[in-house]
Amino acid sequence: MASWTGQLELKVEHRGGRSAASRQYHQGAYKIARPIYPDGSGQVYYYVMNPGGGYVGGDRYRMELELGEGASALMTTQSSTKIYRTPKEPVFQLTRIALEAGSYLEWLPDSVIAYRDSRYRQQTEIRMDRSAALILGEIVTPGWSPDGAHFSYDEITLKTMIEMDGVPVLFDHLRLRPGEQPIRGLGRMDGYTHVGSLFVIGPLATRTFIEELAETLDLNRIGCIGMSELIIPGFGVRILGDSSQAIETLFGRIANAVRERWFGWGPISLRKY
């Protein structure tokens, strides 16, 4: 087995009225910024960084996140994940997340940008207590190409698996291969260039909450949007659009509604620019 290009391990626990890292390790092309507490909620913010500026063929990354009982964290990236040419081996990203009772994680990274002749495979495995809560987002966009083509990458594969109390409750598999599929057509990208996925899970994600949230969101302004209730308390959102910023804005509105309704917190405060 090839070695990891970058590794990150982080455990967050709730102590003394706020959440903080009890264990932290990073190696190679992964770094993590100092914790930030932007408000009085006690939730900790962490920015994951890749000093190399982008991923290339054969890169392999591993991230392990664990939230202890009652802990709360918001994880994001410093910038977009850029996937460059992968002439031999694809880029591989493995993320494992464990959420103990009463914990809450917002994992809202910047978009994955796939450039010409690139292949990217991502696997996300989540184990969570049924009393924990989670917001998990991801956005995929095509990178610039010399000929102006939008879909010049070779492959993007995203797999997300969630277990609740040891029982599999969600499996999401998104695979885009422009060279093998009519990628622009109906049932694929439907003429759009960007795709976003968001999963919101928690004991307070009742059908009433989901219906009220859907009514407050102007779902027709971005592109093609689907919002579905899950078999567990929660829902998933899939968006096809032409702008990362528009998708991020909608994800932010959903996350802020969750923060306010479930925890009585103010909106997310990310400072990246």
pLDDT tens profile 52-63: 778 999 999 999
Report pTM.
0.94
Structural domain range at position 180: 6-263
Q: Residue 156 class from Cβ within 10 Å (0-12 exposed, 13-18 middle, 19+ buried)?
A: buried
Q: What is the pLDDT of residue 144?
A: 76
**Would residue 245 count as lying in a domain?**
yes
Q: What is the pLDDT of residue 235?
A: 98
**Would residue 150 count as lying in a domain?**
yes
**Would residue 271 count as lying in a domain?**
no
Does the structure show a pLDDT above 60 at 1?
no
pLDDT single digits (tens) 128-181:
999 999 999 999 998 877 766 777 889 999 999 999 999 999 999 999 998 777
pLDDT single digits (tens) 104-128:
999 999 999 999 999 999 999 999 9
**Would residue 120 count as lying in a domain?**
yes
Token couple for 69: 């009982």
User: How many domains are there within the chain?
Assistant: 1
Q: Are 259 and 268 in contact (CB under 8 A)?
A: yes
Q: What is the CA radius of gyration of the chain?
A: 18
CB neighbour burial string for 244-272, b if at least 16 within 10 angstroms, e if fewer: bebbbebbebbbebbbeebeebeebebee
**Would residue 249 count as lying in a domain?**
yes
DSSP state letter for 192: -
**Would residue 12 count as lying in a domain?**
yes
**Would residue 156 count as lying in a domain?**
yes
**Would residue 272 count as lying in a domain?**
no
User: Which residues lie below 8 Å from residue 216, measured CB to CB, with a gap of 6+?
Assistant: 257
